[in-house]
Amino acid sequence: MVRKLAERRVFLMRAEVLSAMVSVGCSCSRNESSIIPLRLTTNISELADMSRDLPVLLTRDRPLTLQAKLFRGLSDYSRLSILQALRAGPLTVGEIVAATGLSQPNASNHLRCLSDCCLVTGEQRGRFVQYRLSDPRIARLLAMADEVLAGAAQGLDDCRNYLG
């Protein structure tokens, strides 16, 4: 009886840990997103400790996880070109396509991703939706990236670690 209760407790703790998996990456980029599971173990005392510390484990790295998600969203050329185009002001999908050279379906998919991640917002204007940056700080972030590239990161062109 005691063994069955212990096995049931292990099963329930594993279920808790599995339900607390952390997703990283943009939700609409299935091929880019990855799931990082917390390590599973069969040692009951370790599981009890992990179960008790789970909220701390999940919140301790939350700011870094969110920053990683933000920069991962910005690292895609298509999404970055859309954000750069929207720096000038609100645009429709057709105007974004003209400004970026992306196909309409590709631009729409990336706009959905950027919207899901709250980086852009869309507002219905008659038959069209006008998209804009959701926060003016996004435009400032892109401007600061331009400044960094003009100054300190001049050698980035020669960098072999991140090939575009």
Asked whether residue 147 carries a pLDDT value surpassing 50, the answer given is: yes
Mean of pLDDT values over 103-132: 95
pLDDT grade for 148, boundaries at 50, 70 and 90: confident
- Looking at every residue in the chain, the average pLDDT score rounds to 74
Outline which parts of the chain fall under CATH 1.10.10.10: 72-155
Q: What is the pLDDT of residue 18?
A: 37
HEC string of the chain? CHHHHHHHHHHHHHHHHHHCCEEECCCCCCCCCEEECCCCCCCHHHHHHHHHHHHHHHHHCHHHHHHHHHHHHHCCHHHHHHHHHHCCCCEEHHHHHHHHCCCHHHHHHHHHHHHHCCCEEEEEECCEEEEEECCHHHHHHHHHHHHHHHCCCHHHHHCCCCCC
pTM value?
Answer: 0.62
- 72-155 folds as Arc Repressor Mutant, subunit A (1.10.10)
Q: What is the pLDDT of residues 31-67, one digit of tens each?
A: 433 333 334 344 455 545 545 555 554 566 788 888 9
What is the arithmetic mean of pLDDT over 88-105? Answer: 97
Residue 4: per-residue pLDDT: 53
